[in-house]
Chains A and B, each alone.
Chain A
Amino acid sequence: MRGQDEAVLFWDGVSVFYGACRAVDNVSLTVRAGEVVALTGPNGSGKSTLLRVAAGVCQLDAGRVWIHGRERKSDPRAYARQVGWSPQQSGLYEELTVEENLRLFGRLQGLYGSRLHQNVQRILDQFGLGPRRRQRVGTLSGGWKQRVNVAAALVHSPPVVLLDEPTSGLDGESRDRLLVDISRLREQGCSIVLATHQTEEVAAVADRVVQMHNGRLLEPCTDGFSASASRQRVMLWGQLRCHPPRFVLRLVRQRIPDDVNLELIGKRLRLCADSPETLGHALAELLREGVAFESYRMVAHRVTRRAS
C-alpha cells in the first residue's frame, strides 16, 4: 500500500501552446496518493489543458508529466491504465446503453471476462446506475449522463482520476450526489484532480485548492505544493420536507457560530462546519425551530486552506 505522502502525479514545468496562445505556462504541481486537488480559475485559465496533458491527449511543448514515476511516451498503454479521465463534455456513445458504454471503456483498458463483468457491476452499484444500466445514454438526464461520464473513467479502477468540470450544468441535487461519489472515491484511495470554476462547491470535497490564471498557478511553490494547513471539515446535505420561512433561517444563523456555513437552495440545505460538535449544534438549532428533514447525509473530510 502506498503511503499518503507519496507523489502519484507530477507535472514538471509543463507548458502548452495553442498556436501563439500560451494555454499552460511552466506549471509544476504534485498530487499525493489519496489527495483531492481542485484546480480553479476563470474560463481559459488552463485547467482543462493541464488535465488533458495528464490524460495524454494533449502534446507538451515543454516539461514532463509522471504518474507513479512513469511518463506516457515510455509506455502509453501502461500509463493510460493509471489514469481515468472524464472530459468536460460527455465523452460517451449516446446510442449505446449505460452498461455498453462502461463495458466498452473497460475493454479498451484491457479488462475482459469476469474481471470486466465485476468492475462494471461495481461501478454500476457505486454510482447507483443499476436501474439505468439498459437505458441509452442519450435518453438520460444531464445529471445521470454526467455520472456515467465519470463512471466510465473509473471502470478500470485507476489510481489517478482527472475530472474536468464534473459538476457543470448539473442541478443542485445531481451536484451533491456527484460530490458524494467523489468523496467516496477519495475514501477508496484514489488521487483526484478536479477542474472547476465553482470554488465554493469543491472546497467541501477538496484537500487542496489550486488557483490558475492565464495558464499559471497563482501560488507557485518550490515543492509543487501550495502553502497550506489542513483541518477537519464536516458537511451535511439535507433534503427538507418544506421550505422554512426566512425569519427561521435568520434566527438560526444568529445562534450558530460564524464559521458554520448554512446554505439553502430550494428545499436543499447545506451545513458546513469545522467539527462534528459545531455541526451538531447547528443541526439542533434547526430542528428546534421546526425545520423537518426528508433525508440527510453527512461527510467528513480533510480540507486544505491556503495561507493567503
Chain B
Amino acid sequence: MISHGRILYALIIKDWLLFWSDRRTFFFSFLVPVILASAFGLVFERPAPGTASYPRLPVSVVVEDSGPFTEAMVRELLVSPHLQAQQVDRATAMVAVRRHRVPVAIIIPEGFEHAATQRKSLWERPKSESRPQLELLYDASRRGEAEWASGILAEILLKQLCSQQLSPWMSADWQSWLPFQVVTVPVAYHSQSRFNTYTHSFCGMTLQYLLFWGMESGLLFLRERRGAVWWRLRAVAAPLKTLVAAKVLTTAGVGCLQVLVTFTFGWLVFRVTIDGSLVGFVLICLAMCLLAAATGLLVAAWGNVEGHARNISIVVILSVSMLGGLWLPAFLLPEWVREVAMVLPTTWAMQGLSAVTWQGAPFRTVLPEFAGVCAFSFLLFLLAVGRLHYLEKRSV
C-alpha cells in the first residue's frame, strides 16, 4: 500500500532535484536578488543629515551687482552648509543649468544692493515696485530643487537684512535670536531605528525574486501539466491534491532558503538587521513564501503557452513590485498610487517587512500585514486549484 506521504515525499524530492539541476533558476533565485539589492542600496544610499558627506544642493551664483550687502550675501551663499555654491558669470550659469550640470542658478542682478538697503527699518513696508528682485534659473526637470534653493536663499537674505538692521545688538550667532527652535524626531517603533536603504532594498528584492521563483516553479508545473510526464504521474495514481501540495511545499521551501541566503548576505555585508520582532519577521517571510507558491500555482493553472505565461507573469510581477514599493519606498509614490496599491499583496508584505526590520516593530504590530498576505495567498490558491480541478475534469 502506498501512502500519500510517500508519493508526496517522492514528488518533493523530484522538485528539489529539478530546482538544483536548473542553473538559471538557481542564479535568478540567489545571486540576482543579492546583486540587485546591493546595487539599489548603493544607488539610493544617503548619508545622515549633519555628517560631512550629507549631500548639498549644487548651485551657480551669478553676481552682477556690488556693495557690502551683496558681498556679505554672496559670502553666506558660498559657505552655506546646505549648498554647494560656485560663483560664475551669467552665460556660464545658463549653460550649466541647460546641460543639467547644476539644477539651479541664483542671479543677483544689478541694482539689488540699492533696492535691498534703501529701507530705513525692517518695519517699513516696501513699495512693490522698489522691492529688490533676485532671479532663480532652474532646470525645467528639477522643480523641487528650485523650491529648495528658494527657501535657502530666503533664509540667507532675511539673515542679512536682520544683521544690517539690528546691528550691533545681534551677534554673529543669529540662530540664537530666533524666537523658536525646530527639533527633528524620527518616528519608528524603536527609538534607535533609522531608515537604511540597504534594508529596504534587500526586503524589496527578496520579495520580488520570491515572486519570480514562484513564477519559475509555476512554469515548471505548467510544462509538466502539458507534457506526457503529467499523465505518467496520474497513471501512478498520484492525486491532484498531492501533486499540488508537493509543489506548494517545494516552492515555499526553496523560498525560505532564498530569504535566508539574501538576508544573511545583507546582514554580513551591509548590516541589514531585524530591529523588530524576529517571530514577526519569520511569520511575514513564511507568508511571502506561501504567496510565491500560490503565484506559481496560478501561473500553472491559468497559463497556456509557456512563453506567453512567462511574459505576462514578468510584466505583472514587475508592476506589483513597483506599485508595492519594492523598488523605491512607497512614500515617494503619489498618494493615489499608494491608495490603489493597498489592494496588492506586495504592499502588505513590504509594510510588514519594513516594520519588523528597520522600524523595529513588535510582533503584534505586524499581525495585520501577516494576515493580509496570507489572505491574498489563500485567494490566489483558491483561484488556481479551482482552475486545475476544472481542467482535470475536462481532460481525463
- Residues of A at the B interface (CB closer than 8 Å) are 52, 55-59, 76-81, 83, 85, 87-93, 95-96, 100, 104-105, 107-110, 112, 136, 152
Contacts and interface: CB of A to CB of B under 8 A. Distances in A.
B231 A52 contact: yes
A105 B227 contact: no
Given A79-B237, A80-B235, A96-B17, A59 B1 contact: no
Contacts of A79: 237
Nearest to B20: A95
B232 A110 contact: no
Given A77-B1, A77-B2, A91-B227, A104 B13 contact: yes
B6 A105 contact: no
B221 to A, nearest CB: 12
Contacts of A85: 232, 235
A131 to B, nearest CB: 20
Contacts of B78: none
Centre residue among B22, B232, B233, B234 by max chain A CB count within 10 A = B232
A167 to B, nearest CB: 16
Contacts of A95: 18, 21-22
Contact of B235 (A57, A96, A107): A57
Given A88-B228, A104-B10, A109-B236, A96 B18 contact: yes
Contacts of B227: 89, 91
B236 A91 contact: no
Nearest to B239: A76
A108 B236 contact: yes
B24 to A, nearest CB: 11
Secondary structure of the B side of the interface?
Answer: helix
Interface in B191-236: 227-229, 231-236
B235 to A, nearest CB: 5
Contacts of A108: 2, 7, 10-11, 233, 236, 238
Contacts of A83: 235
B54 interface: no
A92 B396 CA distance: 20
**Which of B228, B233, B236 neighbours the largest number of chain A CB atoms within 10 Å of its CB?**
B236
B18 A110 contact: no
A93 B14 contact: yes
B174 interface: no
B9 interface: yes
Best-buried of B227, B232, B235, B237 by chain A (most CB within 10 Å)? B235
Given A57-B396, A80-B237, A105 B21 contact: no
